[in-house]
Amino acid sequence: MSSLVELIAAKRDGRELTPADIQRLVRAYTGGELADYQMSAFLMAAFLRGMSDAETVALTEAMLRSGTVVDLSSVEGVKVDKHSTGGVGDKCSISLVPIVAACGVPVPMVSGRGLGHTGGTLDKLEAIPGFHVDLDIPRFAQIVRDVGGCMIGQTAEIAPADKRMYALRDVTATVESVPLIVASILSKKLAEGIDALVLDVKVGQGAFMKSLDDARRLATALVRVGTRAGKRVTALLTRMDAPLGRTIGNALETREAIDMLFGRAPDDYVECTKALAVEMLRLGGRAASGPQAEKLIDEAISSGRAAQVMERMVAAQGGDPRVVRDTSLLPQAPEVVTLRAPQAGWIQGINAFEIGICAGLLGAGRTRADQAVDPAVGIVLQAQVGDRVQAGAPIAQVHARRSADVAGLQERMVAAFRIGPSAPEARPLVIERIEA
């Protein structure tokens, strides 16, 4: 048997490790036999040398088996989740869970918090007064069974090896490795007890994957490895150059996500959410085609069933269900400042990265995992890409705790809007679909 140091050296030298080797490394790390600095060395070796599909599957399995794998066998039907690689204004999960659950597909979802320029689903949900995302696994399973969907954060029991290894990657410059990203995402998702997974891989200046080639490579690896792990997986590549929808900020985005349950939401947000819901219904066995799935989605919204599921989920997780019918109960910032177009023309682009950074500086986001967020603050776009504006016309509203918070950011936010003499070329939001 090779020593742990020899296994690290083997990966350093570009050799392929066996599933047993990788399982042993992960078990030694979570058991305290392998030190942080040794795991950091392994992660750097994997980053530089790469990992085969077989190694990535083994790493995924070892990480998910490092904790509890949720047993959802008591929940009838095909359990389907969705994961997004993160973007600005991406609040799709909050609409998806009640819509898909209302169509008869149970949705157990473990989500994350925002970091850097991207928002997090958990922060948005916690804008709902009383809403708890830190439920234990038995309560999580019960709500999925009783309501049809539940949204929580990663617990100490779910893939604890991933949580520790990601913390190391974050400080050792080994985050941008496709195999390590794949294992991190899938270990958490597969530990939920799901049968199928839909992936929303964002691409563009507001996404972590800036180029189409990088996004396609990540999506393909996620689908391939997830399929080899025994799950049904599809991925959509979706555009993230401009913010999705009109809101950026926790309570503001939650309001927009709830609005969709009543048939009122921006076109781009509706398009992205419906495209993902179609995939979830197909994997869940509720629809054989896109048009059939879209019909179910429209009926779930028009009948009020999706809103009712949302009310039940909010109540089950300790929140105030009145928020679903009256979003004015969500936190509201005391100061609202209007930004105006510096010139006439067409909105040719809105820099999602810059808007996300500005929202974070207002207090809507965080640069460290231990920072709190202000649920009330953020930005509401009053003009979107493709709109024609006059000089002085409103282009955004800034919701702030203090007007002084806006003063230093106004110029930067206005500069994020690229205004030109001609209309931009229309580009599809959903770029590509990838399946096994």
CA 174 to mean position of chain CA atoms: 20
Catalytic residue among 65, 83, 113, 255: 83
Catalytic residue among 117, 124, 188, 312: 188
Q: CA 203, CA 221: separation in Å to the nearest integer?
A: 15
Contacts of 434 (CB under 8 A, 6+ apart): 216, 219, 220, 223, 234, 235, 236, 237
CB 415 within 8 A of CB 289: no
- Candidates 194, 191, 19; CA nearest to 106 is 194
> Using the 8-state DSSP alphabet, how is residue 254 labeled?
H
Walk across the sheet containing 388-389 and list its strands: 388-389, 345-350, 417-420
Query: Would you call 118 helix, strand, or coil by DSSP?
Result: strand
66 given a catalytic annotation: no
195 given a catalytic annotation: no
Catalytic residue among 177, 184, 232, 312: 184
Catalytic residue among 65, 169, 216, 246: 169
What does the chain come to in residues?
Answer: 436
Q: CA 58, CA 20: separation in Å to the nearest integer?
A: 8
Q: CA 45, CA 245: separation in Å to the nearest integer?
A: 40
83 given a catalytic annotation: yes
Angle at Cα 165 formed by Cα 161 and Cα 168, nearest 5°? Answer: 155
DSSP-assigned letters across all residues of 182-208: HHHHHHHHHTTT-SEEEEEEEESTTSS
The conformational region for residue 124 under phi > 0 = left, psi -120 to 50 = alpha, else beta, is alpha
Strand partners, 397: 338, 380
Amino acid making up residue 398:
V
184 given a catalytic annotation: yes
Residues assigned a catalytic role: 83, 162, 169, 184, 188
